[in-house]
């Protein structure tokens, strides 16, 4: 039997005794260059056994301060839905960005988010139901990044350090399965490190984005409760004053 799950950051998986309970979402890496820039993206993500839909937004209210918001909805499991999980996660962050020379940008963001998830457990061989578990969680994170941004191409390297806190665990499984749920979750406060690479290509205002990241459970690497990787692809949109100015100058 495989694993399934989702948590603050939403997504899911299934395997052996119970489920995974954390999946990393796409890292928002805006690479701001100036005040009053807007960034929006929509993407589709996959992990060990999860699928997800994600939307992100970012804004630079000053020449060095950036704000962002990220949302993910994910699900996974078997075709009957009897051994499955689904959930959502929403986060916000604020940080500092610094353009370096013409194309390079350094950024660092700190954020807070929360989400919920629902798990259904079932023996795939006997079709016996073990019950359900509902979870709520909170995540705090810090995310430094460095990248290069051009009119038609962006590349960025980022690393997210985060702590996930399971604030509410409502276990409605039978007695035979309850110990599995408790064992899988283990310590309710978990720490993760998640390096990622982001590539974008297209025009000034619209680019195609792909990102890959690896997630490592620092609290207990031998009993990792979340997906070990997350890949995503989608569209990325930019609104910036410098692009408007450039277009105006070209028309003169």
- List, in sequence order, every beta strand (DSSP E) within the chain: 2-3, 14-15, 18-19, 38-46, 51-59, 65-77, 84-100, 104-122, 129-149, 153-173, 189-202, 206-214, 216-217, 229-239
Q: How far apart are CA 100 and CA 180, in angstroms?
A: 51
Residue-wise pLDDT tens digits, 172-182: 777 656 556 65
Query: For residue 250, is pLDDT > 70?
Result: no
Which position has the token pair 């992990």?
Answer: 47
Residue 236 predicted with pLDDT over 80: yes
For the cut 80, the answer to whether the pLDDT of residue 126 exceeds it is no
More confident residue, 84 or 204: 204
* Domain carrying residue 107: 2-251
pLDDT score recorded for residue 168:
81
For residue 103, pLDDT over 80 is answered with yes
Is residue 171 within 8 A of residue 188, CB to CB? The reply is no
Going by pLDDT thresholds of 50, 70 and 90, the confidence category of residue 17 is very low
Q: By mean pLDDT, which of 23-37, 102-116, 211-225 is the weakest? A: 211-225
> pLDDT confidence of 195, banded at 50, 70, 90?
very high
More confident residue, 35 or 251: 35
Number of folded domains in the chain?
Answer: 1
pLDDT of residue 14: 38
Can you say how many angstroms the Cα of residue 99 is from the centroid of all Cα atoms in its chain? 25
What pLDDT is stored for residue 116 in this prediction? Answer: 94
Report whether pLDDT(252) > 50: no
Task: Decide: 147 and 156 in contact? Cβ < 8 Å.
Answer: yes
Q: How many of the other CB atoms lie within 10 Å of CB of 101? A: 6
Inter-CA distances, 195 with 25, 144, 148, 183, 213, Å: 12, 10, 17, 27, 6
Please determine, for residue 154, whether its predicted confidence score (pLDDT) is greater than 80.
Answer: yes
Structure tokens belonging to residue 68: 């962002």
Q: How far is CA 202 from CA 41, 205, 244, in A?
A: 14, 8, 17
């Amino acid at each position: 039997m495989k694993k399934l799950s989702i948590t603050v950051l939403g997504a899911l998986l299934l395997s052996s005794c119970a489920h995974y309970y954390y999946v990393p979402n796409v890292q928002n890496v805006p690479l701001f260059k100036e005040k009053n820039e807007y960034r929006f993206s929509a993407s589709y993500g996959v992990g060990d056994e999860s699928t997800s839909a994600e939307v992100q937004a970012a804004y630079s209210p000053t020449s060095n301060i950036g704000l962002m918001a990220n949302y993910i909805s994910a699900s996974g499991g078997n075709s009957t839905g009897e051994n499955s999980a689904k959930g959502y996660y929403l986060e916000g962050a604020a940080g500092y960005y610094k353009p370096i020379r013409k194309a390079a940008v350094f950024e660092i963001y700190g954020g807070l988010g929360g989400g919920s998830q629902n798990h259904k457990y079932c023996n795939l061989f006997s079709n016996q139901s073990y019950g359900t578990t509902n979870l709520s969680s909170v995540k705090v994170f810090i995310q430094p990044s460095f990248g290069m941004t051009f009119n038609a191409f962006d590349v960025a390297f980022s690393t997210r350090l985060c702590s996930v806190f399971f604030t509410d665990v409502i276990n409605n499984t039978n007695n035979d399965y309850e110990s599995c749920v408790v064992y899988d979750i283990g310590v309710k406060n978990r720490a993760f490190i998640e390096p990622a690479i982001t590539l974008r290509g297209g025009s000034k205002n619209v680019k195609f984005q792909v990102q890959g990241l690896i997630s490592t459970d620092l609290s207990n690497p031998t009993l990792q409760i979340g997906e070990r990787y997350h890949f995503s692809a989608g569209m990325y949109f930019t609104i910036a004053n410098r692009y408007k100015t450039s277009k105006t100058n070209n028309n003169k």
